[in-house]
Structure 1
Amino acid sequence: MSTIEFAVIGGTGLTEIEGLEVIHREVVHTPYGEPSGPVTHGMIAGKRIAFLARHGYTHNIPPHRVNYRANLWALKSLGVKKVVAIAAVGGITPEMQPMRLVIPDQIIDYTYGRAHTFFEDGLTDVTHIDFSWPYCTEMRNALLTAAECAKLNVVPRGTYAATQGPRLETAAEIIRLERDGCDLVGMTAMPEAALARELDLCYAACAVVANWAAGKDNEEITMEDIHQNLVVGMTNARALLRALVC
């Protein structure tokens, strides 16, 4: 059986990949409970990839209830070495306009109460990971190269604020996040990125800006607007993934 080139974790708005020739779907049981759903094995542009919908294939798992440990462990157990995470986010700084694609390079974690490490039970030594640069440089560069090939206008860096959710943030919270140096706000970067690092997975993200963050324009944030922006943004994200395997 051919090696899995990489895995895609799909976020809000991406529960399937257009053009993916599905080979089979596999239920993976893990020591950390059940993943968000079966792992889809498929071929795209002649290369084999794996796909997992972070929030479930019917989008029914809120961000604070995603079993991040089971998801990452399942992919690792299948031989995956590289992961691309797709995530819908809010834009904070001026460059992060709705429908833009962003390849973030930093994270600030504001989440709490989530199972955030594999290194807690049965250890012979306390284990730490270097998380200075939370995203894999190799995969980030591959995404940026794919964006050039697909002629997609992506923002090449940014700091992702990972908040607890599932509610959206207040305008005052967004002011604080911007003061902290954040460009984007979302709910799923952590602990996903850290768990990937603990498993030695080459992990990077493509953030799709779905809306301006609270207080960044004069309009109320509506799910209808988010959906409309994601239709365009996720179409571009799919084009990025196709270029990544070419």
Structure 2
Amino acid sequence: MLAIIGGSGLTRFVRMEVAERRQVATPYGDPSAALTFGHLCGRPLVFLARHGDEHTIPPHQVNYRANLWALRMCAPVGIVAVAAVGSIRSDLRPGDLVIPHQIIDYTWARHSTFHEGPHSAVTHVDFTEPYDFVLRRQIGAAAAALEIRVSDEAVYAATQGPRLETAAEINRLERDGADVVGMTGMPEAVLARELAIPYAAINVVANYAAGRGDSREAICMDAIHTVLEGAMQQVHAIIEKMLTSDD
């Protein structure tokens, strides 16, 4: 069973045949929403809305540990996380899709490990390659089969939110080597690694980051919603193709 974590613009799969919605209790509290179990293209799928069913949970208040623990209980073969991002690179335009390969974490005060507390041993996990190579390749192959253009390498900068970044902060991220910026990539990715669940992401470029392109003076939030609505149709198609790639 594949697991999907949906972000801004993806709170449900329209063509998913829902069998059950299950509220899962975890040692870390409640997940963002009930887990939705069902079938898409005849294949089993579990879906979780990262920001809640009504998109009411901001990035810095998402209970990432509860979300990942709840999905772990389903024994998924992997997790595909969908998230909107801002583009730092001029060649990544609004509406483009990105499969990131690296992360730089700028978040703070988020619960970022399961290995803490008075009875927990000190545990270090290797995070050299934060995204699963096989899962990234499957996403890329599905996109190619559909002739959907994706960028298969990008460095994702995870910022705290919920505010968007200043133009000067985006300049700093670029100097650090970041290509796109978002608010939910961490600690989600490292928690999946601690649980040994293959994890990869599909980033939807919703806008140019602050100070770039048509966001040079300000970021238009209405335009972001329009871009996401169109691009998420391609995300749906890619995930459906992944599920049926062995047909």
TM-score exceeds 0.5: yes
**Offset at residue 81 of structure 1 (A):** 3.0
Equivalent residue number for residue 167 of structure 2: 171
Q: Is the Cα contact below 8 Å between 2:88 and 2:180 reproduced in 1?
A: yes
**Offset at residue 24 of structure 1 (A):** 0.7
Give the distance between the partners of 2:154 and 2:66, measured in 1 at CA: 27
Give the distance between the partners of 2:130 and 2:90, measured in 1 at CA: 23
How many residues get paired? Answer: 242
**Matching residue's letter, 1:245:** L
1:216-244 per-position Cα deviation (integer Å, ceiling 9, x unaligned): 02342121010011111111111111111
Equivalent residue number for residue 26 of structure 2: 30
Give the distance between the partners of 1:28 and 1:111, measured in 2 at CA: 27
Equivalent residue number for residue 196 of structure 1: 192
TM-score by length of 2: 0.96
Equivalent residue number for residue 87 of structure 2: 91
Match of 1:68 among 64, 70, 87: 64
Percent of pairs identical after alignment?
52
Structure 1 segments, 4+ long, off by >4 Å, are none
| 2:45 aligned with 1:56 | no
Equivalent residue number for residue 223 of structure 1: 221
**Matching residue's letter, 1:58:** E
**Offset at residue 94 of structure 1 (A):** 1.7
Q: Which runs of 5+ in 1 are unaligned?
A: none
Q: Is the Cα contact below 8 Å between 2:115 and 2:121 reproduced in 1?
A: no
Q: Is the Cα contact below 8 Å between 1:18 and 1:238 reproduced in 2?
A: no
**Matching residue's letter, 2:114:** F
1:11-30 per-position Cα deviation (integer Å, ceiling 9, x unaligned): 00000113111011011000
**Offset at residue 145 of structure 1 (A):** 0.7
> 3-state DSSP class of the match of 1:241?
helix
After superposing the two structures, state which structure 1 stretch, 182-191 or 16-25, moved more. 16-25
> 3-state DSSP class of the match of 2:10?
coil
TM-score by length of 1: 0.96
Q: Which runs of 5+ in 2 are unaligned?
A: none
